[in-house]
Amino acid sequence: MDDNFAALDQVKSTAIDLGMKFGPKLLVAIVIMTVGFLVARWVAGVVVHMLRRFEFEAPVRQLLVSITRALVLILFGIMALQNLGVELVPLIAGLGVAGAGVALAMQGVLGNMVAGLTIILTRPFRVGEYISIAKEEGQVEDISLFHTSLTHPDLSRVVIPNRRIVGEVLHNYGQIRQVEVIVRVAYDADLNRVLVTIHEMLQANAQALTLYRQALQLTTSNADRGPVLVEAADAAAWAGDVEESLRLAREAVIAFEELHDPEGALRAHTAIGVAFNSYYRADEAVADLEPVFQTIDAFDTAPRVRLGLEMARAYMLNAQPELAIDVAERALPQAERYAPAAAVIDGIISKATALSNLGRLLEAQATLLGAIALADQLDLPRQATRGLNNLATVQTALDPQASLRTSESLLERTARFGDGGWVARTRADFAEQLIAMGRYDEALAMYDALDTDRLAPAQKNWIAASRSWIEGVRALPPGIGQRLRDQLAAYPVSDPQVRMYFEWFTLSSYILDRDWERVAREGANNPLPWSLEGALLASIRLRDAELGAAALTAIERDLPASGRLGRALRHLGEGAIQVLRENHDEGMATMGAGMELMTKVGLPVEVADWQTAFAGLVGLDHPAALAPATAAQEWLRSVGAHGLEQIWADGLPADNAAARRVG
């Protein structure tokens, strides 16, 4: 028993001696390691900040930070061992011998690590770049100390040991690869047509602008940047980003001017004109293009011809049709020699539309139909859709039903282009046709589906006002006319042609207020067919022969008699004036002929408008008035146009069922 107690006393004494000898050193060692962890964290933060300044990728930064943290901890670990009295020389010698054996056993792993450090420090490639190495290729996904990971084009993952990379021939494609695509064409194919078609397809692609922006990041000289800037500006205009298009085109102007390249500068100015002309800013297009255009003494190069054709388009959109026709007729004879077919057809379309602005509607329609057929023959969808858009506008003054059919064809074609800005504008325009047909829910759904970021501010305001118009014709809430006018006035419009449409829509808002006198007096001053028709209808509702005669004079001035709409309005106007002047029989016969023609060419809301105006003029007790008035009332109720029913109440039967029985 005494021996056991003696042993315990010996253990206790030894523990106390060791505690007294090594305890303070152990505590100091723990403090050293704690400080080491804190210092490692601080040093790691400093290294991260430095590496970010040198633009190292995130995986590389993480690796270098880990190595730095480990080195700091090893240093403080050595200090802690020294404080404990551990002899480091024999330990290091032992580790050296063991390390040699481990190195022989793990020479592949260590080779990868050294190669990884070489890649990290020399940076022959970065994360996100596309490389080809060791019979493999792909996008660099991760760079670690031992291996590099690539994402293969088939979305599989390729892991390459770093020692297989260092010392090999490496092909770094960068972040953009130039892909060689072989397009086979027939020997007798028109190469200009082929090139234009490819260009159109690329420009219509939603990713075209992104690709051009990436290409600009790789170019440094103005000689390389100038052409890319022009193409990028065209792509931005097509995508609906007009401000970006203008910025790129203006940058291209500066680049070409610094190169003393006047032809290149003409290309850049043409791109500016395209951006302005495409987004209801024709007055700004004229202001930019006209000084440059005046320096051209002959259309003997492609850039000169193309700027001339865009100048013609700007004049046409800026309500200067005579100048537009003059410029187009000077540039078009040389266009086929120096410009691609797409530019030639664009010039023909501009000239035809200018002809329509001068009232030469049949000539314009024939020219546009020819341009569309040529564009289809040459497989130029962009020009074909532009021609259809302008043709639909021309046909509103000739045959609204034909205009509707053209618009439907246009909408179907633009659906192939995806979501370009021009496509959004076409859909917005077609929604206006749906409103005239009483298809209000479809029009609202089309507005809701639009990418409004691709629309010009003027068109956004127009859509807001169109929504108010639908609300007005459906329910006629108080103050709806003033709200519509406020929406149209929210964005001042400088483009003359667009301003003409805004003035007509503003005037139409007074229909919701039943201010027929204002509509009659001011509508005759606007050459748009709807404005002239509205003025004539308002004068009939006022039963004012003098205002009717003024509206009829404006119709004879601005609408060709050869068009079916023009003929219908002439018959209706002449007959109404005869009735107002007490020549009932002859007037009724003339109006009857006009009503028959209107039912064939007019859109549903136009037909209902005339049916109610006719009934209100001659009286619902007249046998010829009751049937059309009843038909109008049934249509208004079928489409939910209760607001219009209130506005046209004097030309509608009070009891629809009784009216049908009488009929």
Instruction: Report long-range pairs for 140-145 (Cβ below 8 Å, ≥24 apart).
Output: 142/59, 143/57, 143/59, 143/60, 143/63, 143/116, 143/119, 144/59, 144/63, 144/116, 145/63, 145/67, 145/112, 145/113, 145/116, 145/117, 145/120
Helix (H, G, I), strand (E, B) or coil at 172: strand
Q: How far is CA 228 from CA 173, 192, 262, 263, in A?
A: 19, 20, 16, 15
C-alpha distances out from residue 37 to 27, 32, 60, 76, 541, Å: 15, 9, 22, 9, 92
pLDDT tens-digit series, residues 282-296: 889 999 999 999 998
The band of 7, judged by pLDDT with boundaries at 50, 70 and 90, is: low
My answer on whether 269 and 138 are in the same domain is no
Structural domain total, the chain = 5
DSSP state at residue 8:
H
On whether residue 631 sits in a domain, the answer given is yes
Taking the whole predicted model, whether its pTM rises above 0.85 is answered as no
Of 395, 416, 437, which residue sits at a domain end? Answer: 395
- Do 473 and 489 lie in one domain? The reply is yes
Considering the domain architecture, whether residues 590 and 623 belong to the same structural domain is answered as yes
pLDDT band of 322, cuts 50, 70, 90: very high
**pLDDT beyond 60 at 9:** yes
Q: Could you read off the pLDDT of 102-141 as tens digits, one per residue? A: 555 556 667 777 787 788 777 788 777 888 887 788 888 8
What CATH number did the domain enclosing 75 receive?
1.10.287
Rounded-to-integer distance, Cα 640 and Cα 652, Å: 15
Residue 662 has what pLDDT? 35
Tokens of 543: 């039963």
**Residues 613-639, mean pLDDT to the nearest whole number:** 88
Range of the domain at 134: 126-174
Pairing label, strands 130-133, 171-174:
antiparallel
Q: Are residues 295 and 251 in the same domain?
A: no
Q: Which residue has the higher pLDDT, 195 or 646?
A: 646
- Do 593 and 490 reside in the same domain of the chain? yes
Decide if 450 is inside a domain: no
Mark which of 369, 395, 421 sits at the end of a domain: 395
Q: What is the mean pLDDT of residues 307-332?
A: 91
3-state DSSP assignment of residue 652 = coil
CA neighbor of 645 nearest in space, from 426, 445, 475, 424? 475
Triad 17, 18, 20: Cα angle to 5°: 65
Q: Residue holding tokens 């003929």?
A: 567
Q: Kindly report the CATH number assigned to the domain that includes residue 366.
A: 1.25.40.10
Q: Which helix (H) or strand (E) holds 45?
A: helix 2-53
Q: What CATH number has the domain bearing residue 134?
A: 2.30.30.60
Question: Do residues 379 and 468 share a domain?
Answer: no
211 within domain boundaries: yes
Segment 200-259, tens digit of pLDDT:
555 555 556 666 666 666 666 777 788 888 888 888 887 777 888 899 899 999 988 888
- Look at residue 548 in the predicted model and tell me its pLDDT: 92
pLDDT digits (tens, 9 = 90+) for 566-600: 889 999 999 999 999 988 889 889 998 998 988 88
Whether 439 is covered by a domain: the verdict is: no
* Claim to verify: residue 539 and residue 558 sit in the same structural domain: yes
Asked if residue 343 is part of any domain, the answer here is: yes
pLDDT in tens, 153-188: 677 888 888 888 887 888 887 765 555 666 677 777
Examine the pLDDT at 400 and tell me if it is beyond 70. Answer: yes
58 and 140 part of one domain: no
Q: Is residue 454 part of a domain?
A: no
Q: Is the pLDDT at 19 greater than 80, yes or no?
A: no
Range from 20-29, 76-85, 142-151, 182-191 that averages highest in pLDDT: 142-151
- Which range has the worst mean pLDDT, 22-31, 498-507, 574-583? 22-31
Residues 268 and 344 placed together within one structural domain of the fold: no
Query: Residue 498 domain-assigned?
Result: yes
Indicate if 489 and 561 belong to the same structural domain. Answer: yes
Do 287 and 242 lie in one domain? The reply is no
Structure-token pair, residue 326: 């003059």
User: Does 457 reside within a domain?
Assistant: no
Co-location of 474 and 609 in the same domain: yes
Residue that finishes a domain, picked among 59, 86, 113: 86
